[in-house]
Structure 1
Amino acid sequence: MSLSISILKPFKPFAGIESARSAILLVASAVLLSACSGGSKRPEPAPLAANVPLIGVKQAWANRIGEVPAGASPFVAGNTIVVASADGTVAAIDASNGRDIWRASAGAAAVTGAGTDGKLAAVVTRDNEVVALEAGKQLWKAKLPAQAFTAPFVAGARVFVLLADRSVHAFDGASGKKLWANQRSNTEPLVLSKAGTILAVGDTLVVGQGGRLVGINPGNGSVRWEAPIASPRGTNDIERLVDLVGSTSRIGDVVCARAYQAAVGCVNASRGTLLWNKPANGAEGIHGDSSLVVGSEADGKLIAWRRADGQQAWQTERLAFRTLSAPLMVGRSVVVGDNNGNLHMLSREDGSPLNRLTTDGSAIIGNPVLAGDSLVAVTKSGGVFGFRPE
């Protein structure tokens, strides 16, 4: 297995922050390059069979935002999609027609996608600032003590930011006043330069910290529960690196998540108890419905697990080594993007092909989303595409 490691320039913390925060933050982007021994060539992607559309879907509209930060998925609030480009442009797009509702600048290059509650949008810039925008105008910005790769989570008139070291910082949505910070006590020496996991379940903020899902009181930042999905393993810092990444699947109180190249598991977020976990070797988020949880593995396999007990329902290697995005389950389909801008629609029953949609030829970033009646995908080069049933 070959790993690519990048070390990013550390951010000098504010005066008054404990001395431990002044240590250099090493950010490891550990990407699986080969399933074989180091130095061997990556296997060729599986060839694509001729597309036979068994379900009718067509492109309804297209928009453009500019090159997108890695892993910056579009964020959906009702019928509105919010996307951010690497140059700091943030756009709210009407999913019914693909037209801008508003478009504004964060004032600096963006390093995350944008989060929104449908009214307030927020993004993190390369200056380590969280910037809040409303109706196309900058409302406030606030300094962060470290880097971030995860889009801010906006809910309950607050903005929550998950940093690269997986500490959580809460800000008042109207003023930008810092409300609290939840700082991990056992920060690992390496962290992933990938978007992490953050969502709300009832009155609990649920975040990924290391290999655990953690329930946090959104009012004061105190921890309510912790549930391990994966544990560190190996003999060195790289091998022991474990973190929850990307999109999750939530049905009611049950949240299923991916631990980077380690496991997929489900947690009851009302009790903070692990329901099941299964070994899995993927680097992107997951999705699911009331019956299945689906994820793409590092080698391009697509695997479906039964939501009730984690037993494998099916897997397909039709898209092997095609560098897949996180999937989206919608209707009878599982939709997953590849690094050539294709959207593959597969049967939720067995992973067989149903249709293949094309975009602009650049990689699908993050995961496809459903906004209103539109299937929406964003590409690395900044294309925003909406598809609908014929």
Structure 2
Amino acid sequence: MSLLRALQAPSSGHALRLTALSVSALALAVALGGCGSSKPQPAPLERFQPVAKLGMAWSQRVVGEAETPVSIAVVANTVTVAGTGGEVAQLALDTGKAIWRADLREPLSAGIGSDGRFAAVVTAQNELVVLDRGAPVWRERQSGRVITAPLVAGERVFVQGVDRAVRAYDLRDGRWLWQYQRPGSEPLALSSQGMLTPFRDTLLVGQGPRLVGLDPVRGTVRFDVTVGTPRGTNEVERLADLVGPAARADDELCVRAFQFSVACFELNRGSLRWSRPQAGTQAVAANDNVVVGADSTDRLSAWKTENGDLLWRVDRFTHRGLSAPAIWGDKLAVADREGYLHLLSLADGRNLARIELDAPLAAAPVVVADQLIVLSRKGTVSALRAN
């Protein structure tokens, strides 16, 4: 079974913490974390005359607090979400009505992956929990912390730890199948949503600044390609993990390398098409024509998917804490830390509309047909439409 057919939508989270895999690296991270500095003031909201209308198709508060990293899984006309407190729910995509709800009564560190029937999360105690229509069916303790949402596809569950090790389990009975970890892993890893996504019959995983294509049945390597070699005087400055969720553009995959670059890969060849330097922290959005991402100051840039040529750049959202963006037809949707969702023209980045949500987003927005699915930090799932 094709992994892509088994899973139609990605999930996301973006806590920006460092996980030390050595004592010296941990000391370095703590030392840097103690160096405080005043935060720059966010750019004021720009006044404009809306030329599009944003409206709610439905909105439901279905889980408790949803602090990052959490995620949204949209597949088989369902929306499955999890809150950080352990609540899990599946909704009908067209109406928002609950199909099932569950409460694991323990905090989560990662979630959620789903194939429409089965769902998988990871608890703060490092246990992978698989549910069948909301009922837990098996658990398996992991060797370390997990931040990236599990991937449920092809009758398997794939889990990636913060140590970048990828493990595969049988979906039905929890039987361990294989483990992969690239030799020579860096001593520091980003404690954030990593890169774990399907492409046809290949499993794509991020290993530091490298994209690795694995055989999902055996865990063997099909290709291994890097976005480049990050430079710096220490391990923190050289940190360039691929940040999820990745953006598919036909047979290409476009990704963010943390504080390093934006890159697009040609998946059929397993090769790098182009890379452009941009010191950002959030995932990018892409379609066949355009790739969009924000840098660390929240300046948005758009490049041609084909060759990486710059199309436009806007700086009116600087320091507003932008989320990962989503391409929505000929529009771009992106939210900020104050809870505003902005709708921009994909052609030139001009403002089209704006709506205020009940809280900032907890996960990257997901586009399904003509709807934009968002999850706020208050646990509210909403389906928006634009015209």
What's the TM-score, normalizing by structure 2? 0.90
SS of the aligned residue for 1:215 comes to strand
Rounded to whole Å, the distance in 2 between the matches of 1:97 and 1:372 is: 14
Q: CA-to-partner distance for each residue in 1:206-259, whole Å, 9 max, x for gaps? A: 011110110001011111111111323212111111200122221232111110
Q: Deviations over 1:171-229 (max 9, x none)?
A: 10111111000022212221111000111111110011110110001011111111111
| Cα offset, 1:49, TM superposition | 2.3
User: Does residue 1:380 correspond to 2:363, yes or no?
Assistant: no
Q: Work out the CA distance in 2 between the residues paired with 1:240 and 1:317.
A: 26
Q: Deviations over 1:242-291 (max 9, x none)?
A: 20012222123211111001011111112211111010111111111110
The equivalent of 1:14 in structure 2 is none
Quote the residue 1:224 is aligned against.
Answer: 222
User: How far, CA to CA, are the matches of 1:176 and 1:112 in structure 2?
Assistant: 18
Return the alpha-carbon distance in structure 2 between the equivalents of residues 216 and 254 of structure 1. Answer: 16
Gaps of 5+ in 1: 11-20
Work out whether residues 82 and 93 of structure 1, in 8 Å CA contact, stay in contact via their aligned partners in 2: yes
The counterpart of 1:69, out of the listed 67, 70, 74, is: 67
SS at match of 2:173: coil
Moved more, 39-48 or 245-254: 39-48
**The one of 45, 50, 59 aligned to 2:47:** 50
For 1:7 and 1:157, locate their aligned partners in 2 and report how far apart those are by CA, in whole Å: 32
What are the ranges of 5 or more consecutive residues in structure 2 without an aligned counterpart? 1-14
Instruction: State how far apart, in whole Å, the 2-side matches of 1:357 and 1:186 are.
Output: 46
Question: Is 2:250–2:288's contact at 8 Å kept on the other side of the alignment?
Answer: no
| Cα distance, 1:51 vs structure 2 | 5.2
CA offset at residue 119 of structure 1? 1.5
- In structure 1, C-alpha distance between the alignment counterparts of 2:47 and 2:233, rounded to whole Å: 46
Distance 2:223 2:355 in 1: 42
Question: Partner residue of 1:319?
Answer: 317
Alignment length, in residue pairs?
370
For residue 6 of structure 1, report the CA deviation from its aligned partner. Answer: 5.7
Task: Spell out the pairing of 1:89-128 with structure 2 (5 A cutoff).
Answer: 89-128=87-126
Question: Equivalent pairs: percent with the same residue?
Answer: 39
Amino acid at match of 2:386: P
Q: What is residue 339 of structure 1 aligned with on the other side?
A: 337
Q: Quick one: which amino acid aligns to residue 270 of structure 1?
A: N
1:139 is displaced (CA, Å) by: 1.5
What per-residue deviation string (whole Å, max 9, x for no partner) do you get for residues 123-173 of structure 1?
111110111111111111111111111000111010000110111000101
**Matches of 1:29 and 1:53 in 2, distance apart?**
44
Partner deviation per Cα, 1:97-139 (whole Å, 9 max, x = no partner): 2221111123521111201111111011111011111111111
**Counterpart-to-counterpart distance in 2, 1:221 and 1:27:** 34
Inter-partner Cα distance in structure 1 for 2:23 and 2:221: 25
The structure-2 alpha-carbon separation of the partners of 1:245 and 1:307, relative to structure 1 and needing over 3 Å to count, comes to same
Map of 1:177-192 to 2, 5 A cutoff?
Answer: 177-192=175-190
Cα distance change on mapping 1:162 and 1:185 into 2, 3 Å: same
2:363 aligns to what?
A: 366
SS at match of 2:143: coil
Distance 1:214 1:135, change over 3 A: same
1:267 corresponds to which residue? Answer: 265
Distance 1:262 1:28, change over 3 A: farther
Equivalence for 1:194: 192
Report if aligned partners of 2:46, 2:316 keep a CA contact under 8 Å in 1. no
Bigger drift between 46-55 and 314-323 goes to 46-55
Find out whether 1:83 has 2:81 as its counterpart. yes
Is the Cα–Cα contact under 8 Å of residues 26 and 191 in structure 1 kept in the other structure? no
Letter in 2 for 1:271: R
1:287 and 1:87 mapped to 2: Cα distance?
29
Letter of the structure 1 residue corresponding to residue 183 of structure 2: S
Query: What is the letter of the counterpart of residue 389 of structure 1?
Result: A
- The letter of the residue matching 1:60 is A
CA distance in 2, matches of 1:144, 1:292: 38
1:241-320 mapped onto 2 (5 Å cutoff):
241-320=239-318
Are 1:28 and 1:190, in contact at CA under 8 Å, matched by a contact in 2? Answer: no
- 2:249 and 2:27 map into 1 onto residues whose CA distance is 32
Q: Distance in 1 between matches of 2:106 and 2:39?
A: 36
Q: Which amino acid aligns with 2:290?
A: L
Describe the shift of the 1:190–1:341 C-alpha distance in structure 2 as closer, same or farther (beyond 3 A).
same
Secondary structure in structure 2 of the residue aligned to 1:179? strand
Task: Quote the Cα distance in structure 2 between the aligned partners of 1:109 and 1:285.
Answer: 25
